[in-house]
Chain A
Amino acid sequence: MSASPKISRRAFAAGFAFLGFGRRASLAQNFAGLGGDASGFASVMPGKSFEFPRDHGPHPDYRIEWWYLTANLKDSAGERLGVQWTLFRQAIQPGPQRGGWASQQVWMGHAAVTRADTHRHSETFARGGVGQSGVDAYPFHAWIDSWQMRGHDRMSAMNVAPLEVNASSAEFSYMLRLQADKALVLQGDAGYSVKSERGQTSYYYSQPHFTASGTVTIDGKPADVTGLAWMDREWSSQPLASDQTGWDWFSLHLETGEKLMLYRLRQTRGEPYLTGNWIGSDGRPVALSPKTADMIPTSTTEVAGRRLPTGWRIIIRDRGMIIDTVPLNPASWMGTRFSYWEGPVSFAGTHRGVGYLEMTGY
């Protein structure tokens, strides 16, 4: 049980944005369009042995892949803010990799900053093969246009740190330095993330242990910031099933140093499907049993003409957890070509802490 629906969803986001260019259509229709030619891509098999830094780099034989970073920060006045940096890769055709403009790789970058009263986002696109965008495993460097995520000379491949991340748009820019004293975490079964009944899988690892510091400038006003960050790396080739409409996904930093990854997959047939990982303060991940967890929407917000559940109660019985999450900014809408909600949250109850919530398909 892992984050594979999220893979599909995000892959869909990238694929849809490129192939449909902003046309909104139902998930099923697009999926049908994508499904046929998935066969030529490499498949996700159990028992893979990960190798770093090699696997920080791209896996072009797989259809979709991303480098996904979220950060919960505070400025010097104690005001909270969030930062997102994402690079998506998609192969639009299987087969041997071609160079130059003939490359079948297409890249998309998303960046956002969120404060309690503002949310700014930006996106950019690139073809592979000519150098406008790409990822090098060593020395680690992921970039699209001027946005980049770059490893230091002394970067530890297992900790994926230290890193420098930056992005900028007409309205905002940021630069963060990321440190980590714990190794990355393989999600699912040693990085092999199995789906439910539908047989979809991905390779999935995370680095949830980053501490971050740097500068965030919004509308010309710079602020020094510090806080926590979380990076997700996934790649896969399988598409989403036709009845899956979207998901609600949490990555939470507990004050105890523990981390929680939890999501709910909504489907037209049957109950939403819950799954996740509890990462102990020793960095060891334990899969959650769906039967012991609940995600209950508690309040909704009207954003961009649709109603989203922005407040949640999360219950994990075998951990004795009952918490309520509150968004930093309920209007954290990513009005990109494929749009979704992504923003920082905080929570209280039996446990306290901060994290990120992503909601798609609304």
Chain B
Amino acid sequence: MKQGYWILAVLLSHWRRHPLQLTTLMVGLISATALWSGVEALNEQARASYDRAAAVFGGSRTAMLVGQRSSTFSQQLFVDLRRAGWQVSPVVEGRVRVQGRPLRLLGIEPVTFPAQAGSIPAIGASDLKSFITPPGEALVAPETLIALAGTEGAVLRTDDGATLPPLKARPQLAPGVVVVDIGLAQSILHLQGRLSRLLVGDTRGQLPPLETVAGDMLRHVAADAETDLERLTDSFHLNLSAFGLLSFLVGLFIVYSAVGLAFEQRMPMFRTLRACGVSSRKLNGVLLIELLVLATAGGLIGLVCGYLIAAALLPNVAVSLQGLYGARVSGALALRPEWWIAGLAMSAGGTLAASATSLLKVIRLPVLAAAQPYAWQQSQRRWLGWQGVTAAAMLVAAIIVLIVGASLISGFALLALLLLGAALALPVLLAFVLRIGERNSRQPLVLWFWADSRQQLPGLSLALMALLLALAVNVGVGTMVESFNKTFTAWLDGRLAADVYVNAVSDAQARDIEASLRARPEVTAVLRSGRAEIEIGGWPVEVLGLADHATYRDRWPLLESLPNAWADVRSGGGVLVSEQLARRLKRRLGDRLDVSTPAGDRSLRIAAIYADYGNPKGQIAVNIDAFTVRFPDLPRTRFGLRVPPGKIGPLIDDMREAFHLDESRLSDQSTLKMESKAIFNRTFAVTAALNTFTLGVAGVALLTSLLTLSHSRLPQLAPLWALGVTRRQLAGIEFLKTTFIAFITAMLALPLGLLVAWCLIAVVNVRAFGWRLPFHVFPLHLAELLGVAMLASLLAMLIPLVRLMRMPPAALIRIFANER
């Protein structure tokens, strides 16, 4: 034990004498752990939020009975089913506004609430009596409590004037949800005696069939293993995870080079230790302990940084998830112990993986071998051939996956294969370029320049691979985001064609509004519209009813269309289909689409396919008259207005005053556009932030590699110095070489990045979201990234170069002495 302590002390003394090395190792460990754990924390937070939501929804994780014909049904059906032996529990649901804030009001019946839908204590009604007896309790998430500026026990009123029971915070609840006893909910929502759904618990023996008890009033919805939210947001989280893992790998590159350098420099120390009577086993054991100590220290700091990253990104992630999927994610980061343990395990595992080659070398260390620090690089050169073959195999596999695969996972596999294959091919390509340079040079110093660059390659290749990956991913994601931005603006203009959108409270009010608008000359068109929800092929689909008007004909974002698309739609026989729905149903232009509506089934011809970015649901658009016929019971309260730009503000003010319409019922196009853009910007802000981190980490990787090299390359430089090349010149040559190699790498990263962008846009996005963006190349963006990459390389070179220029001649002389 004591012996181990002294050996450890000797090993650690190295780091005390080489603080920069320790710093780079730590930076590697910290950045690897921080980015990975930060992303994991975000994902975990989001998933925990879905669970909270699901627990309250009694959502798709529980089997349910829902109304067949309308959204609510008589409470008597609940009693009838219970009396027939069905283990059902009633739920009533609706929306209320409190202080202008929309909330989801959920009425539950805790006594019959099935345990598998979230037990009562889990939901929080631990004191059943106070929950079900007057005045009752309104259970909300702590965030909602804060948002409502309420304290526990406060009594709030809805904007309609109904009184909510006293508030009580329950951390298990999802934000934006208020849970009250069913009776209270019925009265607040004016749904006395009505229910929204019945949760089905474990059945008790033989049950009479649903129809014999409830006739055709109810429909059974089977339980899903995962929530809708989870399914919808999977791709988003997969994206984040992919970034997290990539950063982790890049971080490990740094760890690898720092550990490699430290081991290389300590080889003589290890030999001396062995000579002084430390057994090989003991030495390796203590080395392992040293690595784990470093990994734990780095991992802990990394976890703290990861927490900070996650906390910084969480608001953006939360907004994205809500904007894209309507998923509410709580804004306060709460982490489980498992997260810390997993983070430390990743850090330790990564460190050991990155140190494996170095450790193996020490295990095989012959006590007597002469100092040959470059032996391992020699052997690496032999691997170059194999690496080329592996790279080629991976790229071939990537092509196969592209052709054969259809799932999102295979999309990411394609990306992984492409990136790894390219990274592995990089040293081979660079060696090839350098050899060409070497063959075409005559002057000795230039020849030496090429030859030495090539000799330097194995030591730099890992860092260059990291740089290549980081750059390529940056280019890829950047191009995707820019493409999206560009497309999105045009698309929004088309989709939000009307200038003002109105949704009246009732049909009667709609008629009044319409009449008053006809009297205003600045309103050039009043376009009736409709919106309904149906299912096609088991997928939720929105049906839009559009007026036949130039506003839509000119601006609707059609991707492809038949010649007489709009005439087809006007006649009622044609339908416009969103891109995602068409892909999902594998329908093309001109195919038939069966649509079942309350007024019966109809087969429509697909007249055009249009872009509907960011919508997780499918969507179709039909003529408004056909819509009205098909959905006769729907209120006719929606319309869009065309108004000249300068007159929109006054019109909205007037209407708000005259008809008491709030923002949810009366909105202007520019506000809607702003909101939509904000949501998407924040979505991509997350990716962009992670991107920057990754690039930074790659820069650090390059720096550490250069530091490693600069130290071990002195023996190569010393003879040149002895031959009369000044230190400044030497530094200049080193600078040129590294810049050149980094430049070639960056140049190779650009086409690779565009390929990555194409994969993201044409493969991953399509499989994840169902829509495909037009592919744009942004030369300015590419130039900018190239500049950033070169700047990162320059910064990375700075320290080693300054060191070289300032190196005292004695240090160079000593190299001769020691190498004897």
Direct A–B contact present (CB less than 8 angstroms) = yes
Q: Which of A102, A131, A170 contacts B183 (CB 8 A)?
A: A102
What 1/0 mask marks residues of chain B from 274 to 312 whose CB sits below 8 Å from any chain A CB? Answer: 000000000000000000000000000000000000000
Question: Does A362 reach chain B (CB closer than 8 Å)?
Answer: no
Q: Is the CB of B205 within 8 A of A168?
A: yes
Q: Is the CB of A145 within 8 A of B132?
A: no
| Set of chain A residues within 8 Å of B206, measured between Cβ atoms | 168
Q: Is the CB of A100 within 8 A of B183?
A: yes
| Set of chain B residues within 8 Å of A93, measured between Cβ atoms | 129, 133
| Set of chain B residues within 8 Å of A130, measured between Cβ atoms | 75, 78-79
Complex CA distance for A170 and B127, rounded to whole angstroms: 29
Question: Does A126 reach chain B (CB closer than 8 Å)?
Answer: yes
Q: Is the CB of B128 within 8 A of A21?
A: yes
| Set of chain A residues within 8 Å of B205, measured between Cβ atoms | 168-171, 173
Complex CA distance for A167 and B79, rounded to whole angstroms: 17
Complex CA distance for A127 and B79, rounded to whole angstroms: 11
| Set of chain B residues within 8 Å of A168, measured between Cβ atoms | 85, 204-206
Tell which of B111, B120, B181, B206 has the most Cβ of chain A within 10 Å: B111
Given A101-B181, A122-B204, answer yes or no on A132-B79 (Cβ-Cβ < 8 Å): yes
Interface bin, chain A: 20 to 34
Q: Which of A126, A146, A170 contacts B84 (CB 8 A)?
A: A146
Q: Which residue in chain A gives the minimum CB-CB distance to B127?
A: A19
Question: Does A295 reach chain B (CB closer than 8 Å)?
Answer: no
Question: Does A226 reach chain B (CB closer than 8 Å)?
Answer: no
What 1/0 mask marks residues of chain B from 758 to 791 whose CB sits below 8 Å from any chain A CB? Answer: 0000000000000000000000000000000000
Given A127-B132, A146-B83, answer yes or no on A18-B111 (Cβ-Cβ < 8 Å): yes
Question: Does A143 reach chain B (CB closer than 8 Å)?
Answer: yes
Question: Does B202 reach chain A (CB closer than 8 Å)?
Answer: yes
Question: Does A323 reach chain B (CB closer than 8 Å)?
Answer: no
What 1/0 mask marks residues of chain B from 319 to 334 whose CB sits below 8 Å from any chain A CB? Answer: 0000000000000000
Q: Is the CB of B79 within 8 A of A131?
A: yes
| Set of chain B residues within 8 Å of A102, measured between Cβ atoms | 134, 183
Q: Is the CB of A101 within 8 A of B83?
A: no
Question: Does B441 reach chain A (CB closer than 8 Å)?
Answer: no
Q: Is the CB of B111 within 8 A of A127?
A: yes
Given A127-B109, A169-B205, answer yes or no on A143-B186 (Cβ-Cβ < 8 Å): no
Question: Does A104 reach chain B (CB closer than 8 Å)?
Answer: yes
Q: Is the CB of B85 within 8 A of A146?
A: yes
Complex CA distance for A12 and B206, rounded to whole angstroms: 32
Complex CA distance for A16 and B588, rounded to whole angstroms: 63
B:150-208 near A, CB below 8 Å: 181-184, 186, 202-206
| Set of chain A residues within 8 Å of B111, measured between Cβ atoms | 18, 106, 125-127
Question: Does A158 reach chain B (CB closer than 8 Å)?
Answer: no
| Set of chain A residues within 8 Å of B183, measured between Cβ atoms | 100-102
Q: Which of B128, B181, B186 contacts A18 (CB 8 A)?
A: B128
Question: Does B377 reach chain A (CB closer than 8 Å)?
Answer: no
Question: Does B69 reach chain A (CB closer than 8 Å)?
Answer: no
| Set of chain A residues within 8 Å of B203, measured between Cβ atoms | 170
| Set of chain B residues within 8 Å of A145, measured between Cβ atoms | 82-83, 85, 87, 204
Question: Does B272 reach chain A (CB closer than 8 Å)?
Answer: no
| Set of chain A residues within 8 Å of B87, measured between Cβ atoms | 145
Question: Does B126 reach chain A (CB closer than 8 Å)?
Answer: yes
Complex CA distance for A170 and B87, rounded to whole angstroms: 11
Tell which of B82, B120, B128 has the most Cβ of chain A within 10 Å: B82
Question: Does B489 reach chain A (CB closer than 8 Å)?
Answer: no
Q: Is the CB of B186 within 8 A of A101?
A: yes
| Set of chain A residues within 8 Å of B380, measured between Cβ atoms | none
Question: Does B596 reach chain A (CB closer than 8 Å)?
Answer: no
| Set of chain B residues within 8 Å of A92, measured between Cβ atoms | 128-129, 132-133
| Set of chain A residues within 8 Å of B202, measured between Cβ atoms | 170
Complex CA distance for A127 and B183, rounded to whole angstroms: 11
Question: Does B598 reach chain A (CB closer than 8 Å)?
Answer: no
Question: Does B112 reach chain A (CB closer than 8 Å)?
Answer: yes
Question: Does B121 reach chain A (CB closer than 8 Å)?
Answer: yes
Given A18-B111, A125-B111, A127-B109, answer yes or no on A132-B181 (Cβ-Cβ < 8 Å): no
| Set of chain B residues within 8 Å of A169, measured between Cβ atoms | 204-205
Q: Which residue in chain A gives the minimum CB-CB distance to B203?
A: A170
Complex CA distance for A19 and B128, rounded to whole angstroms: 6
Q: Which residue in chain B gives the minimum CB-CB distance to A107?
A: B111
**A335 nearest CB across to chain B (Å):** 15
Interface bin, chain B: 20 to 34
Given A100-B183, A126-B82, A170-B204, answer yes or no on A21-B129 (Cβ-Cβ < 8 Å): no
Q: Which of B78, B85, B112, B121 contacts A21 (CB 8 A)?
A: B121
Complex CA distance for A55 and B596, rounded to whole angstroms: 57
Tell which of A18, A126, A143, A145 has the most Cβ of chain B within 10 Å: A145
Q: Which residue in chain A gives the minimum CB-CB distance to B113?
A: A125
Q: Is the CB of A101 within 8 A of B182?
A: yes
**B117 nearest CB across to chain A (Å):** 15
Q: Is the CB of A104 within 8 A of B204?
A: no
What 1/0 mask marks residues of chain B from 684 to 698 whose CB sits below 8 Å from any chain A CB? Answer: 000000000000000
Q: Which of B83, B126, B186 contacts A132 (CB 8 A)?
A: B83
B:75-126 near A, CB below 8 Å: 75-76, 78-79, 82-85, 87, 109, 111-112, 120-121, 126
Q: Is the CB of B79 within 8 A of A104?
A: no
Complex CA distance for A236 and B127, rounded to whole angstroms: 23
Complex CA distance for A131 and B78, rounded to whole angstroms: 9
Q: Is the CB of A132 within 8 A of B133?
A: no
**A237 nearest CB across to chain B (Å):** 16
What 1/0 mask marks residues of chain A from 1 to 28 whose CB sits below 8 Å from any chain B CB? Answer: 0000000000000000011010000000
**B385 nearest CB across to chain A (Å):** 67
Complex CA distance for A173 and B207, rounded to whole angstroms: 12
| Set of chain B residues within 8 Å of A101, measured between Cβ atoms | 109, 132, 181-184, 186
B:688-712 near A, CB below 8 Å: none
Complex CA distance for A89 and B109, rounded to whole angstroms: 18
Complex CA distance for A131 and B79, rounded to whole angstroms: 6
**B24 nearest CB across to chain A (Å):** 55
Tell which of B76, B84, B128, B205 has the most Cβ of chain A within 10 Å: B205
What 1/0 mask marks residues of chain B from 201 to 222 whose CB sits below 8 Å from any chain A CB? Answer: 0111110000000000000000
Q: Is the CB of A104 within 8 A of B85?
A: no
Complex CA distance for A127 and B131, rounded to whole angstroms: 13
Q: Which of A122, A125, A131, A170 contacts B112 (CB 8 A)?
A: A125
What 1/0 mask marks residues of chain A from 145 to 161 whose CB sits below 8 Å from any chain B CB? Answer: 11000000000000000
Tell which of A101, A122, A146, A170 has the most Cβ of chain B within 10 Å: A101
Q: Which residue in chain A gives the minimum CB-CB distance to B193?
A: A100
| Set of chain B residues within 8 Å of A106, measured between Cβ atoms | 111
Q: Which residue in chain B gives the minimum CB-CB distance to A18?
A: B128
Q: Which residue in chain A gives the minimum CB-CB distance to B107?
A: A101
| Set of chain A residues within 8 Å of B84, measured between Cβ atoms | 146
**A20 nearest CB across to chain B (Å):** 9
| Set of chain A residues within 8 Å of B76, measured between Cβ atoms | 131
Tell which of B78, B79, B120, B129 has the most Cβ of chain A within 10 Å: B129
Complex CA distance for A126 and B87, rounded to whole angstroms: 11
| Set of chain A residues within 8 Å of B85, measured between Cβ atoms | 145-146, 168
Which B residues are within 8 Å of any A CB, using their own CB?
75-76, 78-79, 82-85, 87, 109, 111-112, 120-121, 126-129, 132-134, 181-184, 186, 202-206
Extra inter-chain contacts (19) besides given A93-B133, A126-B111, A132-B83, CB under 8 Å: A18-B129, A21-B121, A21-B128, A92-B129, A93-B129, A100-B183, A101-B109, A101-B132, A102-B183, A125-B111, A130-B78, A131-B76, A131-B79, A143-B83, A145-B85, A146-B83, A146-B84, A168-B85, A173-B205
Which A residues are within 8 Å of any B CB, using their own CB?
18-19, 21, 92-93, 100-102, 104, 106, 122, 125-127, 130-132, 143, 145-146, 168-171, 173
Residue pairs across A and B with Cβ atoms less than 8 A apart, 18 shown, are A18-B111, A21-B121, A92-B129, A101-B109, A101-B181, A102-B134, A102-B183, A126-B112, A127-B132, A130-B79, A132-B78, A132-B79, A145-B87, A145-B204, A146-B83, A168-B206, A169-B205, A173-B205
Closest 5 interchain pairs by CB? Answer: A101-B183, A146-B85, A131-B79, A125-B111, A168-B205
